Structures are given as C-alpha cells and as structure tokens.
Amino acid sequence: MLLGVARRRLGSGCVLGQLMQALRPASSARAYSAAAKEMTVREALNSALDEEMSADPSVFLMGEEVGEYQGAYKISKGLLDKYGPDRVLDTPITEAGFTGIGVGAAYQGLRPVVEFMTFNFSMQAIDHIINSAAKSNYMSAGQISVPIVFRGPNGAAAGVGAQHSQCYAAWYAHVPGLKVLTPYSAEDARGLLKAAIRDPDPVVFLENELLYGESFPVSAEALDSSFCLPIGKAKIEREGKDVTITAFSKMVGYALQAAEILSKEGISAEVINLRSIRPLDRTAINASVRKTNRLVTVEEGFPQHGVGAEICMSVVEDSFEYLDAPVERIAGADVPMPYAANLERMAVPQVEDIVRAAKRACYRAVPMAATA
C-alpha cells in the first residue's frame, strides 16, 4: 500500500504528507552570497539540502525532529517553513518504520533524504538499508533504482558512552550496492551531499557532530548551486614527500595538525582526505605511497576489519615494492567507548598518536632480505 501511495509524485499533491500525518507528533530559508569566504559544516549541509529540494520536487527530508524543531543539530533549519510538512516530515521514534517508508518511496522514483539523529540508531533500520536498499538494483537486474540518502552524525562525540559513539564507516563500506561518504570540510559537506542526493543509488552519508560548528574557507565555485563533488575521489589536503597519511571525517583535521608538527621536525607529510570510503580512491592512495614510500592510516573506528586494514591491503597488492617501512595503522581502541572523559580520550586517536606513527615510519626501514 505504501508503494502505491508513494507512486504519486510530491508535485501532484500532499500524498506523502498525508501518509505521515498520522505518525507526526503533535525559520526562514537561508541564502548565501557569492562573496562569502567561510561557512560552517552545518550551513553547508543546510544549503545543499535547500538547493537540491528547490531544484527537484522529488527530493524530501524525513526523520526525528527535522521539521518543527528544525533538526536536532539544526541542519534542517528553515526548510519546514519553505517547503512545508509534505516535504519535511517529522517522524516518530521508529527508525525501522520511517526508513522502510523512505526506501519504498525511492522504489517509486522519489528521492528521500532520511536523517538519523545518530547513526547508532541506524542499527534499528539496518535490514532496510542493506537488504531493501543496497541489494535491490542487483536483485532486480537493474530494473529498480533506489535513489536514497541516509545521513546523520557518525562516530564519537563527547561523553555519550559506548552505545552512541560508534563509527559505521567500515560497517556500511562492507556492503556491495551502497556508497559511503565521509565529509570533513564545509566544501566536502556541500559538494558530497549534493552528489549523494543526485545519485541513482543508495548513499550512506556519515557526518560528524563535532564538525557541525567548524568553519572552513569556501570557494566561489563551491557556493554555486550547480556545485557537486565526484563520488569516489579523494582530495590531497596537503602535499608532502616523506610519508602519506590517509584520514576521513574529523580525523582529517587531526592529520593536518600532525603534519604541521612534523614539518617543524623536517618531515614532509602528505595528507589525503578520503572523502569516499566506498568506492575508495585506491588510485590516489597508491600514487601517494609510490611517491612517499611510507603510509599511516588514521580512523576513529575499531581497528579489526577497519578502513585502515582495507587501505593497507590495497597498498600491499598494488605498491608493496615501493614501501620503505611497515604501514602504521592508527584507530580507535578495540573496546566499547568508555564514558569517563579521561578514558574516552585514550580510546580515540589523538594528534600525538599520528605524529608518533609517522616518525616510526620515517625512522624505520624495512629489513632487506639476505642475499646469497
């Protein structure tokens, strides 16, 4: 029944809004000048949503508190006033329910953006994300496209304990049929979210709560409504010649801080902002390693079967003979996130961890095999 309802496009009336009306618990649009020099990640996400909803009436936003409260993190500020309750839908606390509705709407040609208040709550809806969204295009021999975005804060925040602090990059990157994006800067957030909404396949869009209020320089090109970043392409945030450091999301900032410290000690570090975890830009990573001959991977998630492990294997397969030192992997501690602040800090990577790893890579050579 839901699929039949969703078949009627948003432009033909308020059908989807009527569908959600029974579930819904009982601001002005933001504009940016081309002369703007800086933008917060929050503003970048808000503007990307606004512009894509304005350009395409099939795009709509749904999730807990996205409407009248204007978003738990104010990402959707002003959108309810501008687009109305038929396209900005407040849902009850039922991730499995509203995610299933979103996937069904995507089957019928709409472009839902499903917000999770935290990606930890996406576990309630993981069957819809993986079995209903990720696999349907393949299982239908290409007859069904699922243009849907699952977005929200991912990874550790501060003092929210083990159940609200997990990084899901490796979880979702494991699944064929999903694309997994991890923005760092305002330009990343704006360009990648636009790309995700326009993409014909399901996209998991992993933001970071602690980055929402961070400001970044934004180019005039990035402020244009047509701006879009390619999915699957990494960005070299800082060029270097001695060691490659790969990172994503908040860890990119840590890697850049580490590179600055290393530069004062004569070590030139190249920092790669992965941007996309699936597909992974193996070409950019291997090209950098072939130049620097050393690699440090940085991620916030658990080490076992993590993003760093996949990067390491990619380099071993394609560039092993270029390595002058063992790969160094920096990741979160292999324990549930502690609640105590001092233990929490020990459980997530810090700038000094990256500095130490880079020094180990630079000051230690691979033992050469003995020759006869």
Q: Clarify whether 270 is annotated catalytic.
A: no
d(CA 173, CA 249): 15
List 65, 164, 214, 260, catalytic entry: 164
Return the ∠ at Cα 70 (arms to 39 and 201), rounded to 5°: 75
- Judged by phi (left if over 0) then psi (alpha if -120 to 50, else beta), residue 63 lies in left
Handedness of CA 75, 117, 202, 272 (dihedral sign): positive
The kind and range of the H/E element at 180 are: strand 179-181
For residue 35, give Cα distances in angstroms to 191, 218, 355: 18, 10, 37
How would you class 98 by CB atoms within 10 Å of its CB: exposed for 0-12, middle for 13-18, buried for 19 or more? buried
Phi, psi (deg, nearest 5) at residue 153: -70, 140
Would you give the DSSP letter of residue 10?
G
| CB contact at 8 A, 167 and 189 | no
367 preceded by a cis bond (ω within 30 of 0): no
d(CA 366, CA 10): 61
At 80, list the tokens. 């309810």
List 43, 95, 299, 310, catalytic entry: 95
Q: Clarify whether 95 is annotated catalytic.
A: yes
Quick one: how far is CA 52 from the chain centroid?
A: 18
At 247, list the tokens. 């990172």
Enumerate helices (H) and strands (E) in the chain, giving the number of each.
15, 14
**DSSP three-state, residue 168:** coil
d(CA 158, CA 250): 13
Active-site annotation, residues: 95, 164
